[in-house]
Amino acid sequence: MDQSNAVQFFWSQHQTMTKIPQHIKSMLLIWDRCSVSHALEFFSPQLHFVDIITTQYAISCFKTSPLFIWNMQTNAYTDEDSTIMDAQIGQTLHELIEEIKANFSESSLRFYQREFKFFDDITKISGILKPLEKAVRKKKCQEELQKIVPEHGAYLPTNPDSIILNIDYTSGIPMQSAAKAPFLARFNVFTCDTDSVERFNINNDIHLSNIMTSDDAVRLKGAIFKVGDDVRQDVLALQLISFFKKVFSKIGMNLFLYPYKVVATSPGCGVIECVERAKSRDQLGKQTDARENFTNSLAAYSVVSFLLQVKDRHNGNIMIDEDGHIIHIDFGFLFESSPGGNINFEPHMKITQEMLDILGGSVESPYFKTFVSQTIKAYLALRPYEKEIVNTVALMLGSNLPCFRGETLRQLKLRLGNIYGEKEAADKFNTNVIQASVLNVRTVLYDLIQKAQNEIPC
C-alpha cells in the first residue's frame, strides 16, 4: 500500500492524537475504522497476543452488542457440549466476557439477560426434538413454542435491527434432518435500526410507539434454530460470500449473491436467517428477467462453490427466489470436507440439465455463453484479493472445524491461480472447472443418492 492510501487509516475524527505509543497494538485506540479485509491484513500477526490495550479496545467495541458475546461463548470451547475449553483462548474469552458484562450499565445488563434467556429457551426446543421420532416432532415443536413468551425488546440474533412483537406459534416446523432436529419458527418483527433497538431496551422512558412510525415496517421473519450442529462453517462461508459480493459491486459486476445471516450462539447451537420468497423452478424459463437473474446468480455461486469447495449440493440446499436468483444454503461441507468420508465425489460446480434448460437448452445458447463469460469474469475479479481471502480463512484454522485437514490454505491459493497470468488462468478455469462440471455424471449420481436416502427430489 502506498503512503497516500495509508494516510486514511491514521486519521480519526473521534480521537485526539496527543500521543502515539510505539507498540503497534496501541494504534488500535487511535486508528479510524477501516474495512474488515484491511483489519485482517494489518492485525492478523498480532492476534495471538493479548494485552491490556487489546482488551480495552475489545471492551469499547463489544460492550453494547450481545452478538460478540455469543461469538466468544461459541469459540471458548472445542466441543458442542461446552465441556472442553479451548486451551489457547478459552480462559481469555471467558475473562473478556465477564469484563464486558461488568462494564454494562444496569439497564444494559438487563437487556443482555433478557435477550440471552429468550433465545436459549427457543434454541433448547431443538434439543428436545432430537430424540423424538420424525412423526411426532411437529406437534411437539409447536407445543414447546407455545410455552415461550417474547421478552421485552428481544430481537432475532440474525436481525439486530428488528424488535420481536410476537411469535407465530403455528409456524414451528421441524426441518428435514436424519441426525439433528433443527426447526423453523416465524416472528412478527418491527424493523427499525440497531440504535433504536438499543435505546428502546436501555431507556425506560421510550415506548414502542415512539419509534414505531409505520405499520409497513412490521413483517413476518423466519429463523432456523439448531442444537448439536456447529454453524461456524456456515458463518465463515457467508463472511467470504459477503466479501465476494462487495468485490463484485465495487467493480460494477451485475452478479447476485445473498449472504444470509447466521449467528453461532453457543457451542453446537446457532440461529440461521430464512431465505424468503422462494418459487418453483419450472417457472423460470418463462420469464426473461428471471432467466437473466438466474444466469447472473448461477455464475456468482459457481465461483463460490469452486473457491470454497462447497459440497453436498443437492436440490434441498439450492433455492430460487421469486425473481429467479439461485441461492445456495447450508455450508456444512466445504474446503477439505465432503460427504461420504471426504471422498470429494462431487464436481467443482453443479450445472445440471435442468439448469442448462433454463440457460437456453445447450452449451451453444447465448444464455449459457453469457453464464460462462460472467463466471470467468467473476473468478478473475477475485484473484487480486488472495491475501484478504486467505487471511479470513487462516483466522479460523485453530477452530478444529472439520473442513480444515492441513492443506486448506495451500489448496485455496492454488485454486485462486495467481501463479498464472490472467489469460492462462481464465483458460484453465474454463476448461478444467466450468466445462468439466457441465452435466457431470457425478452430479447426477449424487442427486440420485440423495433422492434414495433422504427423499430429496432430483
Give the pLDDT score at 9. Answer: 47
Query: What's 432's domain CATH number?
Result: 1.10.1070.11
Q: Tell me the pLDDT tens digit for each residue of 17-41.
A: 444 344 444 444 445 555 555 555 5
Stretch among 93-97, 325-329, 382-386, 431-435 having the lowest mean pLDDT = 93-97
Which of 5-9, 31-35, 129-133, 342-346 has the lowest average pLDDT?
5-9
Average pLDDT on 426-432 reads 97
Q: What is the pLDDT of residue 384?
A: 96
- What is the model's pLDDT at position 183? 92
Over residues 405-412, mean pLDDT: 95
Do 357 and 439 fall within a single domain?
yes
Q: Are residues 98 and 119 in the same domain?
A: no
The predicted structure's pLDDT at residue 61: 58
Rounded mean pLDDT of 153-163?
89
Grid cell 415496517 is found at: 217
Q: Of the given ranges (15-29, 222-236, 318-332, 405-419), which has the lowest mean pLDDT?
A: 15-29
Domain ends where: 203, 226, 249?
226
Task: Reply yes or no on whether the pLDDT at 80 is more than 60.
Answer: yes
Provide the pLDDT for residue 60.
Answer: 60
Same domain, 303 and 443: yes
Mean pLDDT of 427-453: 86
Task: Pull the grid cell for residue 121.
Answer: 429457551
- String of DSSP letters for 392-441: HHHTTGGG--TT-SS-HHHHHHHHHTTTS-HHHHHHHHIIIIIIHHBT-H
Confidence label for 58 from pLDDT (cuts 50, 70 and 90): low
Residue 280 banded pLDDT, cuts 50, 70, 90: very low
Q: What average pLDDT is seen over the chain? A: 82
Share of the chain above pLDDT 90, in %: 43
CA distance linking residue 260 with residue 262, whole number of Å: 7
Q: What is the pLDDT of residue 177?
A: 64
Same domain as 174, residue 51: no
The domain tally of the chain equals: 3
Cell triple for 253: 459486476
Domain assignment of residue 181, yes or no:
yes
What is the structure's pLDDT at 283? 45
CATH code: domain of residue 125? 3.30.1010.10
Which domain range does residue 150 map to?
106-226
Report the pLDDT value the prediction gives residue 42, as an integer from 0 to 100.
55
In this prediction, residues 43-72 reach a mean pLDDT of 61
Do residues 358 and 285 lie in contact, with contact meaning Cβ atoms separated by under 8 Å? yes
Q: Which of 66-75, 92-101, 230-239 has the lowest mean pLDDT?
A: 66-75
Higher pLDDT, 59 or 440: 440
Any idea which of 59-63, 234-238, 406-410, 427-431 has the lowest mean pLDDT?
Answer: 59-63
Q: Quick one: average pLDDT of 410-421?
A: 95
The pLDDT of residue 82 is 77
Whole-angstrom Cα distance, residue 226 to residue 380? 36
Q: What is the pLDDT of residue 63?
A: 55
pLDDT at res. 10 = 47
Please tell me whether residues 170 and 197 are part of one structural domain.
yes
Q: Please indicate, yes or no, if residue 236 is contained in any of the structural domains.
A: no
pLDDT band at 16 (very low <50, low <70, confident <90, very high): very low
163 and 72 part of one domain: no
Burial 25-40 (b: 16+ CB within 10 A, else e): bbbbebbeeeeebbeb
Asked whether 190 and 209 are in contact (CB, 8 A), the reply is no
Please tell me whether residues 283 and 418 are part of one structural domain. Answer: yes
For residue 3, pLDDT beyond 80: no
Residues 122, 157 share a domain: yes
Greatest mean pLDDT range, 114-123, 368-377, 441-450: 368-377
Which 3 state secondary structure label does DSSP give 308?
A: helix
Q: Which residue among 226, 241, 265 closes a domain?
A: 226
Q: Report yes or no: 78 and 400 within 8 Å, Cβ to Cβ.
A: yes
| 303 contacts 244 by C-beta, under 8 angstroms | yes
302 versus 190: the higher-pLDDT residue is 302
- Judge if pTM exceeds 0.85: no
Q: Is 386 in the same domain as 365?
A: yes
Are residues 39 and 60 in contact, defined by beta-carbon separation less than 8 angstroms? no
Q: Give the pLDDT confidence score for residue 78 in this predicted structure.
A: 82
- For residue 192, the model assigns a pLDDT of 85
Contact 86, 77 (CB under 8 A): yes
For the ranges 96-110, 202-216, 344-358, the maximum mean pLDDT occurs at 344-358
The pLDDT of residue 368 is 96
Is there a contact between 323 and 292 (Cβ–Cβ < 8 Å)?
no
The per-residue pLDDT for 351 is 94
Which of 87, 103, 119 is the endpoint of a domain? Answer: 103
* Domain assignment present for 233: no
pLDDT above 70: residue 231:
yes
Give Cα separations from 13 to 63, 195, 304 (angstroms).
21, 21, 37
Higher pLDDT, 30 or 291: 291
Distance of alpha carbon 166 from the chain centroid: 25
Residues 54 and 99 in one domain: yes
